[in-house]
């Protein structure tokens, strides 16, 4: 890992790219003056020569126009570099903001939030100031979708370990990763474009698939161009050539109708195709040592050449295809060269070569975006650990674990271990003492661990597990559902999973809060007993201190923990440290007094 701090690295990147940008902008100015000078000199010389020598002045005019076009192409390339460098500066400035916990301007993934999910709402996986918003460096729709799915569903342990290895290799490659991100930021590759290409590739083409069409096109072009040259030379009368031209136009128009379906599928995707080419080329050109990255590179190989070259070939065909919309394309290229037919022949050959690997290109890009996001996290927090996994169900053992969204200067880390089945970690504590935050810290780190990410801890050991929680319950007026009933629905789902003996890890915060204290205690105690009976594993936070007494009945199954508060006069002091045993200090009455409720001692 880089010896300098992440902030120093990003700051230096901004300085370096700012210097490069100044040079490119100065070059743009010089190129502008250069184009103007070439144009003026070409016009002056051409005028002078045409005045004296007539048509012989055409040669220096052509030379001047050629130089002007060259300068234009150089300027276009220079402008592309300027855009790229500006994007790289923006990337590094945003990383500096992220290190300062300013990331809420990023895309928050709110549209990925399911209506119902085992933990997404409780753990702030999506939405403003969410895990997704903090973690994501994905800019293709495919990458965003894959990251969201990974956060919602734990990955297989084999993939997690492969990703860990890949992330360790990628994290120090800051220049390579940021250029990858710059490519994806400049043009978003959409899922709609992928669907359109895939639909087209899977279609059974009926037109222009016979190899004889290649010969037909050549013979047709020879005939049409030959008659045009003969007409210009005076061998064919103008009236006859006009009739022939009308015939050529009709033939080309009729044939072009059979190309419209493919054109409509692929129309308007050239920019995204160019972005895909850049990303695939960037991936192909890097030498990797980790197994997962090697596999990704292998998955995108095209049958005959590099994947990037094949995508470039598609882009060139689509660029040529777009000539069908211009007057020149209709009257000359199509009428005399059967331009649309030529492009369809090229598209058919391209489809046959690449339809089997097309989807893998988009998949590899999506996976690389996820890896880049996790690698950026690893680079920004190199002191966080990569979790280890146990094949035995169940263990979670975190040392110095904290919530990753809490700034380091404010974050309080805790140690926590829960091992075996039929185990309940019961956490009591005062209001605002840290119970809910601890549950979320535990849950979020488990989610991160199971996508292949480092976690906010000094060490972390985990059994592969499906996380389920009931922490943040809200009523639903549209469905006429009360808070209490909404919680019961969530608990019913958990009970069903427990009875099926699925490998779940349960996080519960204030069970049955929507009912009276007697029923809440009775129901909570019954639920805990049922979890123990079904050999489930859970961490439960509660204000109900009486529940801690269940440890006497189930000493092998219940471990009591607490967060407490120190009271000095009417002031409360929290240390947010998890401690063993039952909470003895309560603060609700003090808080109620502070807002004006007159409580009699």
pLDDT digits (tens, 9 = 90+) for 422-453: 999 999 987 777 899 999 999 999 999 999 99
Q: Mean pLDDT over residues 502-508, rounded?
A: 94
Element (H or E) spanning 541, and its range?
strand 537-542
Q: Is the pLDDT of residue 480 over 60?
A: no
Please give the pLDDT value at position 234: 85
What letters, b where the CB count within 10 A reaches 16 and e where it falls short, cover 561-578?
A: bbbbbeeeeeebebebeb
Which CATH fold would you assign to the domain 388-594? Rossmann fold (3.40.50)
Residue 477: per-residue pLDDT: 42
pLDDT tens digit sequence for 147-190: 999 999 999 999 999 999 999 999 999 999 999 999 999 999 99
pLDDT given at position 479: 46
- Interacting residues of 404 by C-beta distance below 8 A, sequence separation 6+: 131, 134, 381, 384, 444, 445, 448, 455, 456
Here the tokens at position 446 are 């488990």
Q: What is the pLDDT of residues 328-355, one digit of tens each?
A: 878 888 899 999 999 999 999 999 999 8
Over range 192-215, report the average pLDDT: 89
* Its pTM surpasses 0.75: yes
pLDDT over threshold 90, residue 83? yes
pLDDT value at residue 545: 86
Contact call for residues 439 and 399 (beta carbons, < 8 A): no
Nearest Cα to 458, choosing from 388, 539, 561, 375?
388
Domain positions in the chain are 6-101+112-171, 191-368, 388-594
The residue ranges of DSSP E strands in 143-251, in sequence order, are: none
């Amino acid at each position: 890992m880089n010896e300098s701090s992440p902030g120093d690295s990003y700051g230096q990147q901004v300085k370096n790219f700012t210097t490069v940008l100044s040079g490119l902008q100065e070059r743009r100015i010089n190129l502008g003056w250069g184009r103007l000078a070439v144009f003026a000199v070409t016009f002056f010389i051409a005028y002078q020569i045409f005045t004296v020598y007539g048509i012989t002045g055409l040669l220096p005019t052509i030379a001047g126009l050629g130089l002007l076009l060259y300068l234009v192409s150089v300027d276009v390339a220079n402008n592309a570099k300027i855009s790229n460098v500006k994007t790289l500066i923006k990337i590094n400035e945003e990383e500096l903001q992220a290190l300062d916990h300013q990331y809420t301007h990023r895309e928050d993934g709110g549209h990925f939030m399911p209506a119902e999910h085992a933990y997404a709402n409780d753990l702030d996986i999506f939405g403003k100031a969410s895990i997704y918003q903090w973690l994501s460096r994905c800019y293709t729709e495919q990458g965003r979708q894959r990251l969201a799915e990974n956060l919602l569903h734990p990955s297989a342990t084999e993939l997690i370990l492969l990703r860990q290895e890949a992330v360790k290799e990628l994290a120090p490659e800051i220049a390579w990763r940021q250029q990858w991100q710059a490519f994806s930021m400049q043009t978003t590759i959409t899922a709609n474009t992928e669907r359109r290409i895939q639909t087209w590739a899977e279609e059974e083409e009926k037109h222009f698939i016979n190899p004889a069409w290649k010969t037909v096109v050549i013979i047709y072009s020879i005939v049409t161009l030959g008659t045009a040259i003969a007409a210009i030379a005076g061998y064919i009368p103008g009236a006859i050539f006009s009739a022939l031209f009308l015939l050529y136009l009709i033939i080309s128009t009729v044939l072009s109708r059979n190309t419209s379906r493919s054109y409509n599928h692929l129309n308007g995707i050239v920019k995204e195709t160019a972005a895909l080419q850049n990303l695939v080329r960037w991936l192909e050109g890097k030498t990797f040592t980790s197994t997962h990255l090697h596999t990704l590179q292998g998955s995108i190989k095209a049958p005959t050449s590099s994947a990037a070259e094949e995508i470039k070939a598609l882009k060139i065909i689509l660029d040529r295809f777009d000539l069908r919309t211009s007057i020149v394309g209709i009257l000359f290229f199509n009428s005399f060269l059967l331009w649309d037919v030529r492009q369809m022949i090229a598209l058919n050959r391209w489809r046959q070569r690449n339809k089997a690997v097309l989807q893998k290109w988009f998949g590899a890009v999506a996976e690389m975006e996820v890896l880049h996001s996790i690698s950026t996290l690893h680079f920004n927090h190199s002191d966080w650990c990569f979790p280890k996994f146990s094949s035995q169900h169940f263990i979670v053992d975190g040392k110095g674990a904290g919530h990753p969204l809490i700034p380091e200067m404010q974050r309080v880390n805790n140690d926590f271990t829960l091992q075996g089945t039929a185990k309940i970690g019961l956490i009591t504590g005062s209001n605002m003492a840290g119970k809910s935050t601890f549950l979320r810290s535990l849950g979020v780190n488990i989610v991160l661990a199971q996508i292949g990410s480092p976690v906010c801890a000094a060490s972390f050991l985990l059994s592969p597990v499906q996380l389920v929680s009931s922490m943040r319950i809200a009523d639903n007026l549209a469905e006429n559902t009360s808070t209490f009933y909404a919680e019961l629905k969530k608990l019913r789902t958990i009970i069903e999973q427990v009875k099926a003996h699925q490998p779940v890890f349960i996080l519960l915060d204030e069970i049955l809060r929507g009912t009276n204290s007697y029923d809440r205690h009775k129901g909570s105690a019954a639920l805990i007993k049922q979890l123990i009976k079904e050999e489930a594993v859970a961490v439960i936070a509660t204000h109900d201190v009486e529940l801690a007494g269940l440890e006497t009945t189930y000493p092998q199954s219940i471990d009591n923990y607490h967060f407490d508060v120190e009271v000095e006069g009417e002031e409360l002091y929290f240390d947010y440290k998890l401690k063993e045993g039952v909470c003895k200090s309560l603060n609700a009455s003090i808080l109620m007094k502070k807002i004006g409720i007159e409580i009699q001692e």
